[in-house]
Amino acid sequence: MSSEFIHTEENGIKYLVHPPDSIFVGIKIRENPEDAFKNAIKRGMKNPDDWIYMYSNNNKDYFKNYYSRKYKSYSQFGKIEKLKKKLLER
């Protein structure tokens, strides 16, 4: 079993992806987790020191709370970013 991550980029975000022979295949992790935190704070995250970045999926970043162990997700793209993307695709 290979422990090498695959580098990929989607929508301008760089990820590390587990290889096909991994039990975690398909799980994406941002190369720079600080970007996930900056985005989550912009989208309303309170007390960022209480959260751990875990992974990204379906244009959302997922975090786990240190204390409660509950997960919370934040969209990677707001309405403005989605509109800009659609306009650029035309």
Q: What is the mean pLDDT of each run of 10 residues along the chain (90 residues)?
A: 77 89 88 95 96 94 97 87 73
pLDDT at 52: 97
pLDDT at 1: 43
Give the pLDDT confidence of 67-85 residue by residue, as tens digits. 999 999 999 987 777 777 6
Residue 60 CB burial class (10 angstroms; 0-12, 13-18, ≥19): middle
Task: Please list, in sequence order, all residues whose beta carbon lies within 8 angstroms of the beta carbon of residue 74, skipping any fewer than 6 positions away.
Answer: 36, 39, 40, 43, 44, 45, 60, 61, 63
pLDDT at 37: 97
